[in-house]
Structure formats: C-alpha cells, structure tokens
Structure 1
Amino acid sequence: MSADPRPVLAEAAALLRAGQVDPAIEGFRRAAALAPQVPDVHRMLAMALLQAGRAKEAVQSARALAQLTPSDPHAILLLGAGLLAAGQGDKALTQFDKVIQRAPGFAEAQFQAGNALSSLGRFKEAAARYTRALELDPRAIEALANRAVALSHLKLHAEAMADFDRLIALQPWMPLHLVNKGGLLLEAGDAAGAAAAAEQALAIAPGQVDAQALLGQARLVTLDYDGARAALEQAVETAPVRVDLRVLLAQVLRRQERLEEAIAQCDAALTLDPRRATALFERAEARRAAGDAKGAFADVDAALAIAPRLVEAGVARGYILGDLGRIGEIRPTLDKALRNGPDHPDALFHVAMDDLALGRWAKGWTGYEARARIVPPTYRPLPFARWDGTQTPSALVVLGEQGFGDAIQFARLVPRLAGRGFPVHFQVSAPLVPLLRSLHPDINVVPDLSGIDQTDPGLRWVPLGSLPLLLEADPALWPGAPYLAAEPERANQWRHVREADEFIIGITWQGSTRRDLDVGRSAPLAAFAPLAAIEGVKLVAIQRNAGAEQVDGVPFRSRVLRLDEDFDADGAFLDTAALLQHLDLVVTTDTSMAHLTGALARPGIVALRAVPDWRWGRAGTDSIFYPSLSLVRQALPGDWDGVFATIAEMVRHRVAARAHAAGGDLS
C-alpha cells in the first residue's frame, strides 16, 4: 500500500496559509511522490507554484492534474492559468475555450479567456469575453476592471471611463481604480484630471506608489517639473526596486537639465535590470543632451537590440544620427520607427519634420499635427471649439506655440485670415506682443484671453503651427518678407551705431538654454574670431541673456560693441528690430535672431550644424522661408571652424563690394 499523503498534504497547506510558500511547495512535492494518483495533491502544488511565480513548473503539475481528471473544467482552467502565467497566451486560450465548450456558464473561464486575449493584444475580443463574464456574473469586479483596461487600449475612452467610474462607485476604497482612471485621462490629454485622480488615490492610500507615479507623469505633461520630480522621488523612495519609476524620474531630471542625476537614475535602473530597454533609451537621451552623441548612440542601439519595436528608441536613433552627421541613415530609421508605431506621436512628428526638411510640404504639415500629442505637447488647447479651416466663426483666436522663432516664422500667415469677415486675435507670449503688432492693422495681438468673450458659441481657436495645413502648404506661396517692421522712431534712435566706412555685423551665437533642444546648434563666441579679424568690420553683440557672458572671455572682446542692459527691455526684439535697420549684416547660429532677420528682410548669414532643424532644409545655401538669408552648413558635425572660415570669406567679399561701390579700397 502507498503511504498516506494526507498528513504531509495538511502540513504543506498549513505552511502555505502561513505564507511559507517554498516549504509548502516542497511538502506538496513529497505528497505527490507518495500519492501521484491523488488529484488534490497536483492541484495544490500547481496553485502554490503559481503563487510563487514558478509558472513553468505550475504547468507541469496542472497538466498532471488534467490527465487525472480530464472531464473536470476546473483542472483545465488551472492548466490554462499556468500557461498564461508562463507567457503562452495562445495555448492558454485553447484551454479556456475547452472549458467554455463543456461549461458555457462558467464565468471564470470567460474572464480568463479575456485575459489570454489581452496578453495577445486582441483587445476587442478580450472586451467581448469580459462582457460575457459580467453577463454570467454581474459581481465579477475583476472582469469589469480588465474590460476597462481593454477598452482603454482600443481608444474607446468614453466606454472605458464609464467602467472606471462604475468600479469607483462599487469600490470607493480601492485606489487602483482611481489610478487607472487617471491613466486614461492622461492618455486623453486631460493632465489636470489625471492629477486630481492621483491625488484622490493618495488621499485613500498615501503611500500608493502607482498613484505617486501617475501624479509625477501628470505634472510632467503640464511642465511642472519640480512637482513631477517630488512625486517621482517619493515613488522611488517607496519602491526603490521599481525600475520603471527610476526611468520616469530620470526623464524629469533630464528635462530639468540635471543630467548627471538623470544618468545616475538610469544606471541604478540598469543595475536592477540590465535588459531594461527604456532605461537605456532614457540614458541615451540624457547623454545626448550632455553632448555625448557616441555614448547616446551606443545606448539607443543597445535598447533596440533588446526591444526592436520600442518606437521612442527608434525615433531617438534618427535624431542622434543627425547629431553624428549620418544624414543618409536618418529617414530609413524614422520610417522603421513609424512602421513599429503607426500612430505613435513622436514617430509621426519626426517623420513629418523630415518630410518638411525635404520639401514634402503637404505630407509634412499633415504629420506635423502630431505635435499636439507629444510629451510635453507644443501647446495647450483652449477651452472652446477648434477651427477646422472651413467654418466662419464669430471670432478666431490664433494660439502662438513653441519658441519665439516659431512664432515669428509662422506669424506671416495670420494676416491671411484678415478680411474674412470675423475678428482675428493672435495670442502670443507677452514679450512678443509689441513686435507682432506690426503684422497687420486688423490683427489684434494679445498676451491672453482676458478681453475675449469665451462664452460666445461662435468663438473658435487654432494653433499657429496648423495654419500651413489649413491655408497654404507651400512656403513659396506664403506672404513674402518683410512682414514685420521696426518702430520708425525707435529705428531713428539707433542711427548713431553707424560710423563712416565701417561694415557693421550683428552677431548671435547662443540659442535655447535647454541642452536637449539646442544639441549642436549653438557655437562658442570664440568661433566668430575670423570675422573680428577682418579690417573695417565692427561686431555688435545682439546676444541677450545666456551666452552674453562669453564676450569677456574672447581675445577680440575689444572689437565687440556691447549693448546696454535695458536693450529690448520693453518688448522682445523691439530695439533689435530697430538696430537691424542700420546693420550691414547679421551672422547668427540657428536662433530666433535668424527668423527675426529674415522676417525683416535684412541680410543675414545663418551658421548651421551638419544636419540642422527641418526649416533650413537638408542642403543648399538659400532659405525658402527667408530670401535675405544665406545658409552655411557644417561639413562635419561640430566643425564650426570651417563654417566661420567660409562666412569670413563671404564677409570679405561683401566688404570689398561695398568699398568698390563707394569708390574706396577697404580690402
């Protein structure tokens, strides 16, 4: 006779109830060896192994159980659960369907079939199975919760939100329902609603780490970097082994320019999980911002080796190739990223910018609309209906977006709206208001909505960067320059800057202070030395704020005229626009000064990195947007010496030509 397994089985069950899972598993194994034909031994062993996360071993025990009791639907269900936990969703689904064939009213089988379908990405079918489970058992809270998640994946936000609200009403004490709802709100673009849901969850469970993470993500979207960092630092402190939280914190630290700390968080994440592709991707972003393009490229390729379909890494690879000057590889890389994520906003946005750089205007402006969904987005929607380009609103607000240069570049299209029979309000950053009032007498340029009746049902808004798509795709057909003007009285005040026989050049060398935006675009002032060495040339530093301190550190500082601290104090570029009327030339890197110079139709030369921003195209010396500008591109990434040697030669020719025209000889 076989030994009685019941004492061993009872002892193992007691150990399992006490939370001693591994000793319990050993006890169940002894019981199985004593009585291999007893179904309950294999059932309890399989369940304990699942609890311990040992899915492959659980499948073996569940299969032994199913062989002993082939007509028992619970045994088949357990085998399916083991297969699902082992990552074999298709095989698990087969087992769950066997159960449903034998027991059509078995709600748990429908629920688990939904889980298997979700694991396979078949969310529409999964939602149908969860619905069937709820029909069989209306109290199946887990089926309701999982259906809400499946509906979220299907972008059926209203239906998913209804499920989340029902869950919250049924279980108001469960913070996870609020967290899931907040995640859906964040995906739908409602960062404020997501933050509110996270805060409600934290009020219920102050240490709920997913709620802390959600709050950090919501604050990141609204550009509250300090608040985002505080929430995510709490999350990391609460769950220091959660790699995903460290990656999120690294993203916030990078956006705050705390690059060493961002890289340290990524390093810590990779110590915990060396194959975490998202940590490699985020470290690549931080290294790129720190000027380490080669290190960034190594990281992004390592990320893609682990996760070839990681769209963010594919997009990053595209622009890092630009940093390295490998222009021919950019588009194939971006196209591959887009194939992996056809609706991914970053992929759509970067492919669109490449299309624009190549002059594919109609396609480019269509894809450019994806900028509204990137994180952070380039603008925040206004609280009334958006204009589609065909309606005749009672009034239209054109919402400025992105940086000063973007506002100046696209502003020329706003007057196209004048005379259409409705008032046009152009809302821009307050410092730009005085300059942009020179656009058109019928355009009301404002810093905010305070003077606009937002209750008017006919009021509409449109983002500035969408005007090319709605009005005119081809920049060759846009209103020509000049389309901005300096104030006449202010221009007269700057006549004194010109002295006889001097060739006066305004110079700007530093763009955005955000290193992740300014990679490779700014040049050191020292690179302008060849211009200072040209006889008869006077340099005027029209650089403001960051970078202006470099004047004190260059050997030719005595050749550079500096402007007073109150220059442009009463409005961005007001004094600059006036000064430019008296300069022979502007030489600038890719900054808003290039756009201002072009918009005023003043002569300028733009020094560009090897693969510049889309608006300067991929080749050539002319700008389709600004005919008065000449473009000089790096032959190799980082080679400013070659760029400024070329510019110096161009300046010598201009100086000589002017001297010849005047009948003198300044060469």
Structure 2
Amino acid sequence: MNRQERRAAAKQSQRVAPQDLEAVKRSLEAAKRGKLLFDLGRYAEALECFNAFDRINPNVAALYQTRGLCLQRLDRFAEAQADFERSIALNPREAETHKNLGALHSRLGRIEQALASLDRALELRPNFSAALDEKARALWTLQLRGEALVVFRQSLAIDPDNADTTRNVALLLLELGRHAEALESFNAAVKLDPESAALYQMRGVCLQEAGRFEEAQVDYERSIALDSSLAETHNNLGALHSRLDRMEQALASIDRALELRPDFASALSNKAVALSRLQLLDEAFAAFHRSLALDPNDARTIWNLALLQLLTGDFARGWSGREARWNVSSLGHADRGFSQPLWRGDQPIEGKTILLHADEGLGDAIQFARYVPMVAALGARVILEVHSPIRQILAGITGVANCIGRPSANLPAFDLHCPLGALPLAFGTRLDTIPFAERYLAAPPAACVKAWQDRLDDRLEDQLGPRNRLRVGLVWSGNPDHKNDHNRSMALRTLAPLLDCDVQFVSLQKGVRDQDRAFLGERPDIIDLTDQIKDFTDTAALVSCLDLVISVDTSVVHLAGALGAPVWTMLPFTPDWRWLLNRNDSAWYSSMRLFRQPSSGDWASVVDSVRHELEGLVAAAR
C-alpha cells in the first residue's frame, strides 16, 4: 500500500466509530496483501483484497487506480475504465491515472481517447516518460511513424536507460527501413538487456534486412541459445537459410518453429517458399493454402503464392494475387496517392488521358511496356512515366503520346492511371495470349547505331584486325541490391570456360563489381565500351551491332527480347516467375533461349551448355 493510500485510509479511520477501528485495520492489511498479490500476478486474489479495502474505505482515489489496473489484467475492461474514471473524479491531478486510462483506451483501439488521456497526463507531468511511451505507441498504431519516433526519443531523453523504449525506437526505425539507425538502437538495447532472447532475434531481423546475413545468423543462434522455445526465432533463421539457398537447414529450422507453434501461419508461408525453390510444387501449394487458412489476409503469403502460380503458368489466379505486392512493405511498392481512379481494364477510356507508370524495376517496365499500344488502341491518350535510363528508348513505342521520367515532380494532367505491372491483369493475359512476343521496341536511330558500330569496329581493328568472328554481348550480374541477386548473378570468372570460344565477346555489363574488375582486366579480348553508355538507347544501339547477347536475368535480356535481338538467358534452378518452368524458350520473347541450372547453384552446367551451343553456332556461321 503506498503513502497516498495510507494517508487516505487514516483520514477515513478518523471518521469511524472506535468499535470499527478493527475493521479499518483489517482493510489496511487487505490492501497490503492485495498489492503483494498484484505484484505476484495473482490478480483474482488481489481483487478480493482491494474490494475488502473499498468496503471500509470508499472514495480513496489511489485504490480505484490500483484496482483498475487489476481489473485490466483480468480483461474486465469496462470495470477497469470505471475505476480509472472514478479515481480521476476524486483526484483529477494524478497523472498516473490519466496515463493508465489512456493505455486502456489504446489497448481497446480507441486511439483518439487514448491520446486525449495521455496528453492530459503529460500536461500534469511533462517529463512523464511512461506516458510518452504510451503516446508513441498510440501514434504508431495510427501509422504516424515519424511522430511516434519523435515522442519515443523524448522519452529516452528523460530515461535513457529504458530498454523497452530503446527497443521500440529500434523496431520503429527498422519498420521505416532506416537499418543503420535501427542497428545502433538495437545495440544499445542489447547492452541494457544482454540476456534478452527477443532482442537478439529482432536485431537479427535488422541485420538480415541490411544484407548482413552472417551476423544475422549469429544473432538468431544466440537468441535460440538463450530461449529455444521462441518459435519466431526458428522461423526467422529458417527464412534466412532459405534466402541463402540452404534449403535443408531452412526446412529444419522452420519445422522446429512449427513443432513449437503448429498454427504459425508465417512459418507455413516460409516453408512454402522454401519448397517452391526446391520445386516441390504440390507440397509448396499445400503449405501456402494451410498458411492462408490461418491468416487469409496476409499480403506477403498471397503475393508469394501468386508468384508460384505465375511460375507454373496459372496466370488467371497469379495476376490477381500479385496485386498484394502493394501491401508488402518490404517490397517498397508505395501507393502514389493519386486522386484519379485506378484503371482496372473494365472502364471505357476512349477520349481520356491515362497515366501508365513504372512500379517495379527496369526490366519489368520494359516487359510490360508491350501493353502500351493496346491501351492506346482503346482510344486513350497515353502518358508513360518510366525510369530515366529507359525513357528515351520506350518513348518510341506505338501509342505513347508523352514519355516522362520517373518520378516526375510535375505530372501532366490525366484522367486515370494504371501501374505497368497491373496491365496483364487489366487485359486478362493468359499464357497463350501474351502480346507482342516478337518485338515491340523500335530500333534506335540509325545514326546512334552507326556511331556504336564505328566505336566497336575501331576498337576491334586496333586490337584484333578486321571483323571475322561473331560478336557476342555478355552480362554476368544484375543489380546487387536485388533481393535475389545472390541466385541470379554470377562472378565473371565462372564464365571462363565460355571465353575460349572463337567469338568476339563485348561487355554489356554496367557496374562491374570489384571481384570482377581484376578478372576483366586480365581479359583484354573482352571489348568493354560500357563507360560510354549513357542510357538504354546506347545499350540498344550496341546490342544492334552484335550477333547475340548472353546474359543472366537482368534488364538487358528484356531490352534485347523487346528489340527482337537473339538473346540467351542463363537462369537459376528456380527462376523468376516470368521464365516459367521446364522450357528452353520464353513465352514473353520469341528471340530468347533459356539455359537453366539443373540443380541449385550449378552455374557450371549452364556455362557448359551455353559453350556447347555457342560452338555449334560458330561452326554453322563458318
């Protein structure tokens, strides 16, 4: 029993008859026992004691506050609220009670009422760190992350050693994608609470999101060593193994998570992804459906299932499910917030202006730009907004009235909009109705092609004499920031067996990595003019000077395919959805051949197959 309660009880005892003093003493003992039981978590017994005190000592504000907390722990929320409000009526200047009432409103989803109570608590006690924490959590619930972060930091300025607040700052920064700052806060939280398994788990997530996979694994394993009963940690470790293509370890960790929590929807979803990558398709579909039965609105699971449906040619379901990408925060697909309506393919657009805007990577924009002539054919005026490196080359597509760079600060007026990636859904595309598979990009201007032809000829004559061999473009790695880069890219050295073929190789590789730069320097027989490439119009012109392009899955293969240029694409064992399974041609580009890994990570077999085919091409050319 605290000092305020004892003072109130003493005043009350002065008003009772001497023969009732024994009852007052018993009530005080009941209050002491109630507080002890409350601290032990024995809330039902504590409540009986508080009720006994209240019968002898009514109108003690502190009692109603404490009993309100007890009722809240027992999930008797209406009674808890009544006690908090009674306490405030008796003592309206007690900041603690306003904070407790605000926390209760917040728990019940009444955020506006919560903020009003918490603001009153902070008026009474401006440096009340617990109230600041509650306010920050309420703002976070409203998705006001920036404001929540400011309030959390105000709380930390008052109580810098609060591990819970430090952890919440770290989690909020992680949610905002500010990984470096989040990691600093996680490190501070771990120092404050070094034996917290949950903290190591969450820091592992941060490290994983930042691409620091080995450190993430160490944190997950440390978390498991501290508390092996946390299913979430086993699930996260499994997802990390899966991302690094360690499927046996991935499934072992995820199955352990499911042993601990059989109804763990996220673990089932991660298991489905791992099974997909092993091409155990029936098992993968079953795991996805079990996960969605438990959590039917999980956007990431819907999206991953859609990718598997598209990979297996089920476009009818896949396009629709793929739209869940807008609700998967880690994919970075932010809603543009246009006031104009979204075009879904079912509204007439004749005479209207429509904005078609790139919503994914460069290759995706090139792939889906094939739908622009179809939109224009419906009578619409098309504004195309795409990334600056591809703006000039895509501006020449039939039906484009105005092509602008993305993002544009001053968009022209338009009536409707549609992301490029949603156009296959809008047109109900099926595997046998993919449009413009032959070509849909016009060749670059003749002057541009000639300029590149001259550059290439000059370099070849300087080094090797007149042209007498096939010219083959090479790309061996993609964007290092792509989440699947470790699977779809390779080191240039891996292509060494191919480089002895009797052809002239020309590098199309932009952004050569450090590990490849030295090897490229050892191979002066690979012509490298990429420092003169300004945008994809230059790349397209250089491709037009070649006999063949050989590349991993990057935007260059989309460019070559859209130009109708011969292109051989080297794919990982389980490729991106657009390349489907078990075929060596592309449904999207008729000039493309596909070379697939026979097992996960086996680039050597791919290079051997490409070398064999290339040698045959050389023999035929002779």
Contact 1:311/1:337 (8 A) holds in 2: yes
Q: Distance in 1 between matches of 2:195 and 2:243?
A: 26
- 8 Å CA contact 1:509, 1:547 repeated in 2: no
Corresponding residue of 1:502: 469
1:618 CA drift (Å) = 2.4
Asked whether the equivalents of residues 489 and 552 of structure 2 are also in contact (C-alpha less than 8 Å), the reply is yes
Which of 335, 353, 363 aligns to 1:405? It is 363
Task: Give 1:452's match in structure 2, choosing from 411, 422, 430.
Answer: 411
**Within 2, Cα distance between the matches of 1:127 and 1:581?**
72
Local SS of the residue matching 1:506: strand
Is the partner of 1:636 in helix, strand or coil? coil
Offset of residue 345 of structure 1: 1.4
Q: Choose the corresponding residue for 1:149, options 88, 91, 107.
A: 107
Question: Is the 8 Å Cα contact of residues 551 and 569 (structure 2) preserved in structure 1?
Answer: yes
Could you tell me how far 1:288 is from its partner in structure 2? Answer: 4.4
**CA positional deviation for 1:316:** 2.5
1:656 maps to which residue? 619
Instruction: Answer yes or no: is 1:177 the counterpart of 2:140.
Output: no
Counterpart for residue 508 of structure 2: 542
- 109, 112, 118: which is aligned to 1:162? 112
Query: Does the 8 Å CA contact 1:323/1:519 hold for their aligned counterparts?
Result: no
Structure 2 residue 426 is matched with structure 1 residue 470: yes
Choose which of 469, 484, 508 in structure 1 pairs with 2:441.
Answer: 484
The alpha carbon displacement at 1:640 in A equals 1.7
SS at structure 2 position matched to 1:624 = coil
1:196 matches 2:147: yes
Alignment equivalent of 2:401, drawn from 436, 439, 442: 442
**What are the Cα deviations for residues 463-514 of structure 1, in whole angstroms up to 9, with x where unaligned?**
3322222233336343444222342222122224476441222121112314
Alignment partners' CA distance in 2, 1:624 and 1:337: 31
**CA distance, structure 1, for counterparts of residue 225 and residue 483 of structure 2:** 25
Contact 1:113 1:129 in 2 (8 A): yes
**Aligned-partner SS, 1:544:** coil
What is the aligned partner in structure 1 of residue 532 from structure 2? 567
- 2:231 aligned with 1:280, yes or no? no
Tell me the amino acid that sits aligned with residue 330 of structure 1. Answer: A
Report the alpha carbon displacement of residue 625 of structure 1 after superposing the two structures with TM. 1.5
Q: 1:628 to 1:185 in 2, by over 3 A?
A: farther
Distance in 2, Cα, partners of 1:133 & 1:250: 42
- The amino acid of 1:194's aligned partner reads R
Cα deviation 1:415-457 (Å, max 9, x = unaligned):
433366665433333333233323344132223332226xx7x
Q: TM-score, normalised by structure 1?
A: 0.72
| Structure 1: gaps spanning 5 or more residues | 1-12, 18-37, 67-71, 78-105, 118-125, 152-159, 187-192, 660-665
Q: For residues 32-83 of structure 1, what are the alpha-carbon distances to aligned partners after superposition, in whole Å with 9 as ceiling and x for unaligned?
A: xxxxxx9998986575344134x5xx77x67xx98xxxxx9958x9xxxxxx
- Report Cα offsets for 1:512-549 as digits up to 9, x if no partner: 31474224222333333343333x32222212214475
Deviations 1:107-157 (A, max 9, x none): 99999888667xxxxxxxx98888899999997865664454344xxxxxx
**Equivalent residue number for residue 121 of structure 1:** none
Compared CA separation, residues 397 and 175, structure 1 to 2 (3 A): farther
CA distance in structure 2 between the aligned counterparts of 1:110 and 1:215, rounded to whole angstroms = 29
240, 245, 248: which is aligned to 2:202?
248
What per-residue deviation string (whole Å, max 9, x for no partner) do you get for residues 359-400 of structure 1?
Answer: 221311111111112132332222432533238697544332
Alignment of 1:321-340 (within 5 A): 321-324=275-278, 326-340=280-294
In 1, Cα distance between equivalents of 2:589 and 2:81: 59
The amino acid of 2:602's aligned partner reads D
- Which ranges in structure 2 are unaligned for 5 or more consecutive residues? 6-25, 55-63, 90-96, 458-465
- State TM-score, norm by structure 2: 0.77
Residue 351 (structure 1) shift: 0.5
Give the direction of change, closer, same or farther, for the CA distance of 1:116–1:387 in structure 2 (3 Å limit): farther
Task: Report percent identity of matched pairs.
Answer: 24
In 2 relative to 1, CA 226–278 (structure 1 residues): closer, same or farther, beyond 3 Å?
same
> For 1:465 and 1:549, how far apart are their aligned partners in 2?
34
Aligned-partner SS, 1:607: strand
Q: Partners in 2 of 1:215 and 1:277 — Cα distance?
A: 24
Query: What's 1:581 paired with?
Result: 544
Pick which of 285-294 and 137-146 moved more: 137-146
Structure 2 counterpart SS, 1:444: strand
1:48 counterpart residue number:
36
Output the amino acid matched with 1:316: N
CA distance in 1: counterparts of 2:424 and 2:314, whole angstroms: 13
What is the aligned partner in structure 2 of residue 156 from structure 1?
A: none
Which stretch shows the higher mean deviation, 258-267 or 337-346?
Answer: 258-267
What CA distance in whole angstroms lies between the structure 2 residues aligned with 1:405 and 1:634?
21
Provide the C-alpha distance between the structure 2 equivalents of 1:251 and 1:649, rounded to a whole number of angstroms: 43
> Structure 2 counterpart of 1:409, which letter?
Q
CA contact (8 A) 1:179 1:214 kept: no
**Is the contact between residue 385 and residue 459 of structure 1 (CA under 8 Å) also seen in structure 2?**
no
Cα distance 1:170–1:481, how it changes in 2: closer, same or farther (>3 A)?
farther
Change (3 A) 1:49 1:522: same
1:614 aligns with 2:577: yes
Matched residue type, 2:444:
E
Change (3 A) 1:205 1:554: closer
What letter matches 1:412 in structure 2? R
How many Å separate the matches in 2 of 1:217 and 1:273?
A: 20
Question: Does the 8 Å contact 2:155/2:165 carry over to 1?
Answer: no
Measured after TM superposition, the shift of residue 280 of structure 1 is: 2.6
What residue identity is the alignment partner of 1:442? A
For 1:40 and 1:298, how far apart are their aligned partners in 2? 57
Measure, in 2, the Cα distance between the counterparts of 1:415 and 1:214: 50
Select which of 482, 496, 499 maps to 1:532.
Answer: 499
CA contact (8 A) 1:527 1:640 kept: yes
- The residue type paired with residue 401 of structure 2 is D
Question: Against the structure 1 CA distance between its residues 326 and 363, is the aligned structure 2 distance closer, same or farther, given a 3 Å change threshold?
Answer: closer
Give the secondary-structure state (helix, strand or coil) at the position aligned to 2:229.
coil
1:296 and 2:261 are equivalent in the alignment: no
Q: Distance in 2 between matches of 1:469 and 1:128?
A: 48
